[in-house]
Amino acid sequence: MLHFPRLEMKKRVFSGARPTGRQHIGNYLGAIQNYVRLQDEYQCIYCIVDIHALTSLEGAKEVSQLQGNIREMMLDWLAAGLNPQESILFVQSHVPEVLELHTLLSMVTPISWLFRVPTFKEKVKMQPQNVNYGLLGYPVLMTADIVLYKAEVVPVGEDQLPHLELAREIVRRFNNLYGYTFPEPQAKLTHAPLILGLDGVQKMSKQLNNDIELAASPQETRERVMSAFTDPARKYRSDPGHPEVCNVYHMHQAFNSDKLEEISSQCRTAAIGCVDCKQLLAQEINSALEPFREKRSALSKKPEYVKEVIADGARRAQAIAKETIREAKEKMGLVLRA
């Protein structure tokens, strides 16, 4: 009887994330936790997309943090449970075939499709001093990221669905023009809780300095949690609170789900104060992250291991990429025939 290795029978998942350095609990609850779970069901390819990062960075000073950020991010991924024996973990620019495929796909992508992408318009507003071609071509490079590995499934939040739909349109156009080459990637919707930052207003973000890093010390975590904004209507300890509008409560949902009802009723009746409530949250976060922090600390003492994981990931990713590029070029008439 034929025996197929387990990995080959699984569908392939691709996901990329920008090199933002040390990850925060919003990254963990919104993406990394899901990445870890998907490893059981899929062959996962997870990529740190450093070339995408260049669309927003400009000049030697701004890129000087890039390599440190990649290393810190990979450390967090590994400590959180991404398994380099099962999954391919690598850095986008280490497999340069993605740039070649980006160019090939750009030939089948009408420019009008790119101008209508909402995030392009947002980026133009956000960085009017640096409206580079990379911003416009971002969806084409993203499509190349996915289809270079013939990934069939892409985990996305609802806000990323339009990007994936555009990737599917580009794939359909290529396949119609040159014959079936790439599978149309399917969205796997992830219903991650929206974790607001410590300001209770904006999404948790390192840039906004409203985050709690996974690798923060217990003391730092406590201090960060104690600085969080809560229900703005609760001015005094004796005021009843409204947990549904309080971000501390939302973080309890992620870290302290057993005690949610109790916290909610104690908040509404002012039986608990915000200081106590935050102390409880800090304790729960610290105890949940203890195994992660121990593993991260051990890994950080083995920089060669992290480098080897990244190099091995690139080797395995490139083996797939070379096959895809050969096939795409052949279909496009770029390979000399005998």
Catalytic residues: 123, 203, 206
Name which position in 231, 285, 306, 320 contacts ligand SF4 (CB under 6 A).
Answer: 231
Residue count at the site for ligand SF4 (CB under 6 A)?
13
How many residues in the chain? 338
Helix (H, G, I), strand (E, B) or coil at 92: helix
Shortest CB 121 distance to ligand SF4, Å? 36
- Cα 44 to Cα 46: distance, rounded to the nearest angstrom: 6
Residue 243 near ligand SF4 by CB under 6 A: yes
Residue 225 near ligand SF4 by CB under 6 A: no
Residue with tokens 């005021």: 239
Cβ neighbourhood burial of 252 (10 Å; 0-12, 13-18, 19+): buried
Which positions from 150 through 209 interact with ligand SF4, judged by CB under 6 A?
Answer: none
Residue 277 near ligand SF4 by CB under 6 A: yes
Name which position in 20, 230, 256, 318 contacts ligand SF4 (CB under 6 A).
Answer: 230
**Contact window for ligand SF4 (CB under 6 A) among 51-59, 182-190, 201-209, 227-235:** 227-235
- Cα 6 to Cα 169: distance, rounded to the nearest angstrom: 31
Name which position in 77, 90, 149, 249 contacts ligand SF4 (CB under 6 A).
Answer: 249
137/241 with CB nearer ligand SF4: 241
Shortest CB 231 distance to ligand SF4, Å? 4
Run of H or E residues at 190: none
Rounded to 10 degrees, the C-alpha dihedral 298/300/303/306 comes to 80
18/242 with CB nearer ligand SF4: 242
- For 270-302, where are the alpha helices, taking DSSP H only? 274-300
150/234 with CB nearer ligand SF4: 234
Rg, Å, the chain Cα set: 22
The three-point CA angle 82-85-88 to 5° equals 65
* Binding site residues, ligand SF4, CB under 6 A: 230-231, 234, 241, 243, 246, 248-249, 267, 272, 274, 277-278
